[in-house]
């Protein structure tokens, strides 16, 4: 039996102006000051707001079963990986430069 797998990878540029707005409303305004804008964006991603933030990246019919499984936090970007179930990744097809450049060295 063939099983259909669906994976999606999204890179969010950390210092982009689009992500400078406040995505997460925290309970206490004082506690909100302790988090950077990047930390707030990562929290919003874990809370399932990515389809709302980037609706053009998600197809309602095909992507409804996808779950955010991994968040890579680097100084330049935030990498998001969505899967319906985990398979071994093929690094040469990744958007993440740390992954595909590692694969390039093997060639």
> Is 7:13 a contact under the CB 8 Å cutoff?
no
Q: Which is more confidently placed, 29 or 80?
A: 80
**Residue 1 forms part of a structural domain:** no
* Mean per-residue pLDDT, 75-96: 78
**Residue 53 forms part of a structural domain:** yes
**Residue 20 forms part of a structural domain:** yes
Number of domains the chain is built from: 1
Q: Which domain holds residue 91?
A: 7-105
For residue 21, the model assigns a pLDDT of 65
Average pLDDT of the chain, as a whole number: 76
**Residue 55 forms part of a structural domain:** yes
> pTM for the whole thing?
0.73
* Mean per-residue pLDDT, 6-21: 80
**Residue 2 forms part of a structural domain:** no
64-74 residue pLDDT tens: 678 888 898 98
73 - beta bridge partners? 78
């Amino acid at each position: 039996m063939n099983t259909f797998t669906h994976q999606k990878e999204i890179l969010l540029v950390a210092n982009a102006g689009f992500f400078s707005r406040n995505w997460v409303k925290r309970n206490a305004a004082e506690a909100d000051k302790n988090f950077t804008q990047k930390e707030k964006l990562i929290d919003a991603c874990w809370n399932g707001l990515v389809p709302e933030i980037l609706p053009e990246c998600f197809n309602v019919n095909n992507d409804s079963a996808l779950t955010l499984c991994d968040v890579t936090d680097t100084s330049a970007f935030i990498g998001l990986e969505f899967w319906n179930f985990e398979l071994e990744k093929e690094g040469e097809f990744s958007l993440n430069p740390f992954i595909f450049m590692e694969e390039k060295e093997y060639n």
